[in-house]
């Protein structure tokens, strides 16, 4: 087992207490919410791990901690054995690690700057991580990225609003690929898209994984999508991992009642005669 | 049973635009039978919601119904003025929207809102309205003790139940449910759809269920209409359309929907290339032809109409 990322006893506690004065006057105790509660799992290099669960189960909170956007209140995120959050990394090391971790967000409408041309959106990570020398190399890389996700080089001159939802999500994927990452967190990447377009984007993600050896953490509430996308699945409920298993095994013979309920509730076109 | 509650004939909705008109709905005809659940499925921009809005007289200006007729039993309703329409909207046809927070008033209790709706449409006293409101809440599975609670005190699924109670409170004959469960988790979605189905069966009310999810269509509806770029691509009994889809678009939609029962990591999903055309750039002939693998010359030149009231595709023209 060659694990790329290991998550150990991860915890995220949010402080929901009332302001200090109100607590003093009304003698209310502090209030906490454990959004993520002692979650551990690992993802093998080049494989896809899916976290499924309903809204509020803590899926996205884990995703944000896995790429370093949020600091856990307990536990560790190990990338190739290095702790992402313990502060032992130098600024330069942190930068190098972050370059390898990227994220694709749910809404391609909110995650692309509407005032920037696509070319600038894709060039930003190249500049930040100093990955190219000079404008020509930059332009060449931008064109290469666009073609990699099924768009054309001339699209670099256009603005995000000129694209459809599916195309915008391709741009988000290209931006994530710009820094040559090893690991991409896909947070509900297709739930804002129509099914025919969803299929295009999912197929693209799978093809990129094959071509580039990417490791994915795939966040979704849709078990049908997970079935064709993930090697392993973790089921989350109220911040706790209730079950974790290889994809087919989990769907064919779920162990927990919660997983069974989720599978049963998934709407299906052809329900096996029952 | 086979009597129809709603008949829509050759509906055409247009939006005036700098360079002419955008046709949002084009030549759509269908009927809804009493007690039936008719599904409208299609991708964003197909005209599903617009069809619903046209029926209930809520198309946002500058859009308007340019052509066609809408009949509610034997009353023509597409030409009614605002005042006359208020006797129908909410009373005989009601609506459930996607986001329950936008259809509930956050400043008033749900009980208040139910009573208001009931008294607006039915000639009943305050006590009678309250009794009805309580009964309505109980029917949708909400404890009547929460009569005086505000919308924010409920979860998303519970709020949608309140909205359903509101929609049913004036005992309408037709309910238009526009993506009623899209914002909900799957487990809650299943409950809400089950509830909607059950209540409509009990009251013999008809439902137009608008959704983008073929799975929801399969589990809920009796008949289904597939819309593409403002036109009907295919319409028929749900069983038939889902098991023997005829229109290439319907086939594509079904094939590209992942299934929780089939496939594995090596499965390549079927994909329809391209995207739904924008209304200002509709292709000639059949609007689907640029994405269709069976497109012939005829599809580029000539627009197919609904053949045998089932499918709008030249593939079936000679059968």
What are the pLDDT digits (tens) for A217-265? Answer: 999 989 999 999 999 999 999 999 999 999 999 999 999 999 999 998 8
Kindly determine whether residue A196 and residue B186, on different chains, have CB atoms separated by under 8 Å: no
What are the pLDDT digits (tens) for A198-228? Answer: 999 999 999 999 999 999 999 998 999 999 9
A92 near B CB under 8 A: no
What are the pLDDT digits (tens) for B114-146? Answer: 999 999 999 999 999 999 999 999 988 899 999
Residue A223 domain-assigned (yes or no):
yes
CB B27 within 8 A of CB B305: yes
Share of chain A above pLDDT 70, in %: 98
CB nearest to B186's CB, from A167, A228, A266: A266
Residue B319 has pLDDT above 70, yes or no: no
Tell me the average pLDDT across B135-163.
Answer: 91
Distance CA A112, CA A107 (A): 9
**How much is the mean pLDDT over chain A?**
91
Residue A274 has pLDDT above 50, yes or no: no
Residue A270 domain-assigned (yes or no):
no
Tell me the average pLDDT across B168-181.
Answer: 91
A214 near B CB under 8 A: no
Kindly determine whether residue B264 and residue A247, on different chains, have CB atoms separated by under 8 Å: yes
E-assigned strand segments in chain B: 4-17, 20-33, 37-41, 64-72, 75-76, 93-96, 174-178, 206-211, 223-228, 231-237
ipTM for the complex shown? 0.82
Kindly determine whether residue B264 and residue A197, on different chains, have CB atoms separated by under 8 Å: no
Chain A residues with CB-CB distance to B258 below 8 A: 199, 202, 222, 224-225, 227-228
Record the pTM.
0.88
Tell me the average pLDDT across B226-244.
Answer: 94
Residue B49 has pLDDT above 70, yes or no: yes
Q: Count of A–B CB contacts within 8 Å?
A: 118
Residue A82 domain-assigned (yes or no):
yes
Residue A274 domain-assigned (yes or no):
no
Q: What is the CA radius of gyration of chain B?
A: 21
CB B300 within 8 A of CB B284: yes
Neighbouring residues of B250: CB distance < 8 A, sequence distance ≥ 6: B226, B233, B234, B241
Chain A residues with CB-CB distance to B265 below 8 A: 48, 228-231, 247
Diameter of chain A by CA atoms?
Answer: 65
Residue B90 has pLDDT above 90, yes or no: no
Chain A residues with CB-CB distance to B212 below 8 A: 194-195
Kindly determine whether residue A164 and residue B187, on different chains, have CB atoms separated by under 8 Å: no
Residue corresponding to tokens 């064919």:
A252
Tokens at A31, concatenated: 């209030």
Task: Please tell me the total count of domains within chain A.
Answer: 1
Q: How confident is the model at residue A273, as a pLDDT? A: 39
Q: How confident is the model at residue B1, as a pLDDT? A: 45
In chain B, how many H helices and how many E strands? 11, 10
A55 near B CB under 8 A: yes
Q: How confident is the model at residue A51, as a pLDDT? A: 95
- CA dihedral B217→B220→B221→B227, nearest 10 degrees, is -20
Of A35, A6, A51, A7, residue with least CA distance to A234: A51
Residue A147 domain-assigned (yes or no):
yes
Kindly determine whether residue B258 and residue A228, on different chains, have CB atoms separated by under 8 Å: yes
Residue A273 domain-assigned (yes or no):
no
State the residue range of the domain holding A250: 3-265
Tell me the average pLDDT across A27-45.
Answer: 91
Q: How confident is the model at residue A272, as a pLDDT? A: 47
Residue A78 has pLDDT above 60, yes or no: yes
Q: How confident is the model at residue B111, as a pLDDT? A: 94
A44 near B CB under 8 A: no
Lowest mean pLDDT among A235-239, B165-169, B212-216, B305-309: B305-309
The confidence band for B53, taking pLDDT boundaries of 50, 70 and 90, is very high
Cα distances (angstroms) measured from residue B22 to each of A59, A152, A162, B290: 41, 29, 18, 20
CB B32 within 8 A of CB B41: no
Kindly determine whether residue A271 and residue B212, on different chains, have CB atoms separated by under 8 Å: no
Share of chain B above pLDDT 70, in %: 99
Domain assignments of chain B as residue spans, ordered by start = 4-92+172-260+267-316
Chain A residues with CB-CB distance to B256 below 8 A: 195-196, 198-199
CB A69 within 8 A of CB A27: no
Q: How confident is the model at residue B223, as a pLDDT? A: 96
CB nearest to A265's CB, from B190, B254, B276: B190
Kindly determine whether residue A262 and residue B187, on different chains, have CB atoms separated by under 8 Å: yes
Kindly determine whether residue B216 and residue A222, on different chains, have CB atoms separated by under 8 Å: no
Residue A272 domain-assigned (yes or no):
no
Residue A252 domain-assigned (yes or no):
yes
What are the pLDDT digits (tens) for A86-137? Answer: 877 888 888 888 899 999 998 888 889 999 999 999 999 999 998 998 899 9
Kindly determine whether residue A196 and residue B43, on different chains, have CB atoms separated by under 8 Å: yes
In the three-class reduction of DSSP (H, G, I as helix; E, B as strand; rest coil), residue B16 is classed as strand
Identify the CATH number of the domain in which residue A179 sits: 3.40.50.300
The confidence band for B2, taking pLDDT boundaries of 50, 70 and 90, is low
Kindly determine whether residue A227 and residue B259, on different chains, have CB atoms separated by under 8 Å: yes
CB B43 within 8 A of CB B271: no
CATH superfamily of B4-92+172-260+267-316: P-loop containing nucleotide triphosphate hydrolases (3.40.50.300)
Q: How confident is the model at residue A214, as a pLDDT? A: 96
**How much is the mean pLDDT over chain B?**
90
Please, which contacts does A113-116 make with residues 24 or more away whose CB atoms are closer than 8 Å?
Answer: A113/A160, A114/A159, A114/A160, A114/A161, A115/A159, A116/A159, A116/A160
Chain B residues with CB under 8 Å of a chain A CB are: 43-44, 156, 185-187, 189-190, 212-219, 242-243, 252-254, 256-265, 267-273, 275-276
Tell me the average pLDDT across A38-52.
Answer: 95
Distance CA B247, CA B229 (A): 14
Kindly determine whether residue B259 and residue A54, on different chains, have CB atoms separated by under 8 Å: no
């Amino acid at each position: 087992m060659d694990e790329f990322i290991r998550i150990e006893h991860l915890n995220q506690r949010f402080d929901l207490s009332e302001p200090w004065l109100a607590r003093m006057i009304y003698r209310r105790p502090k209030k906490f919410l454990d959004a993520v509660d002692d979650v551990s799992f690992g993802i093998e290099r080049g494989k896809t791990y899916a976290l499924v669960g309903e809204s509020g189960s803590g899926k996205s909170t884990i995703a944000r901690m896995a790429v370093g956007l949020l600091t856990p209140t307990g536990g560790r995120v190990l990338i190739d054995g290095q702790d992402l959050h313990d502060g032992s990394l130098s600024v330069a090391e942190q930068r190098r690690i972050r370059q390898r971790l990227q994220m694709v967000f749910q809404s391609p409408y909110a995650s692309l700057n509407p005032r920037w041309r696509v070319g600038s959106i894709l060039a930003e990570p190249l500049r930040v991580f100093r990955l190219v020398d000079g404008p020509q190399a930059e332009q060449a890389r931008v064109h290469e990225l666009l073609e990699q996700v099924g768009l054309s080089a001339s699209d670099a001159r256009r603005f995000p609003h000129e694209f459809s939802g599916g195309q915008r999500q391709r741009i988000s994927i290209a931006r994530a690929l710009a820094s040559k990452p090893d690991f991409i967190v896909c947070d509900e990447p297709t739930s804002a898209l129509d099914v025919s377009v969803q299929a295009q984007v999912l197929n693209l993600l799978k093809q990129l994984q094959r071509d580039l050896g990417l490791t994915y953490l795939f966040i979704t509430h849709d078990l049908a999508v997970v079935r064709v996308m993930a090697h392993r699945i973790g089921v989350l409920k109220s911040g706790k991992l209730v079950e974790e298993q290889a994809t087919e095994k989990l769907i064919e013979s779920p162990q927990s009642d919660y997983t069974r309920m989720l599978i049963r509730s998934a709407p299906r076109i052809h329900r096996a005669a029952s | 049973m086979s009597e129809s509650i709603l008949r829509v004939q050759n509906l055409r909705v247009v939006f005036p635009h700098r360079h002419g008109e955008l046709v949002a709905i084009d030549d759509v005809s269908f009927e809804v039978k009493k007690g039936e659940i008719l599904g409208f499925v299609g991708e964003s921009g197909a005209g599903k919601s617009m069809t619903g809005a046209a029926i209930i007289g809520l198309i946002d200006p500058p859009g308007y119904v340019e052509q066609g007729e809408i009949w509610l039993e034997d009353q023509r309703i597409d030409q009614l003025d605002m005042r006359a329409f208020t006797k129908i909207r909410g009373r005989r046809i009601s609506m459930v929207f996607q986001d329950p927070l936008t259809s509930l008033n956050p400043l008033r209790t749900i009980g208040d809102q139910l009573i208001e709706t009931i008294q607006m449409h039915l000639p009943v006293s305050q006590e009678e309205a309250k009794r009805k409101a309580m009964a309505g809440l109980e029917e949708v599975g909400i404890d009547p003790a929460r009569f005086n609670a505000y919308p924010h005190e409920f979860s998303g699924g519970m709020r949608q139940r309140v909205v359903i109670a509101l929609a049913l409170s004036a005992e309408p004959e037709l309910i238009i449910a526009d993506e009623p469960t899209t914002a909900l988790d799957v487990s809650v979605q299943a409950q809400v759809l089950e509830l909607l189905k059950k209540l409509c069966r009990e009251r013999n009310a008809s439902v137009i269920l608008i959704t983008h999810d073929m799975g929801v269509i399969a589990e809920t509806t009796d008949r289904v209409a597939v819309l593409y770029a403002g036109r009907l691509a295919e319409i028929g009994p749900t069983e038939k359309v889902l098991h023997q889809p005829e229109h290439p678009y319907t086939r594509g939609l079904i094939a590209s929907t992942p299934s929780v029962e089939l496939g594995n990591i090596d499965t390549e999903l079927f994909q329809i290339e391209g995207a739904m055309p924008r209304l200002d750039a509709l292709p000639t002939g059949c609007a689907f032809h640029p994405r269709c693998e069976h497109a012939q010359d005829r599809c580029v030149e000539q627009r197919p109409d609904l053949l045998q009231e089932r499918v709008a595709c030249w593939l079936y023209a000679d059968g």
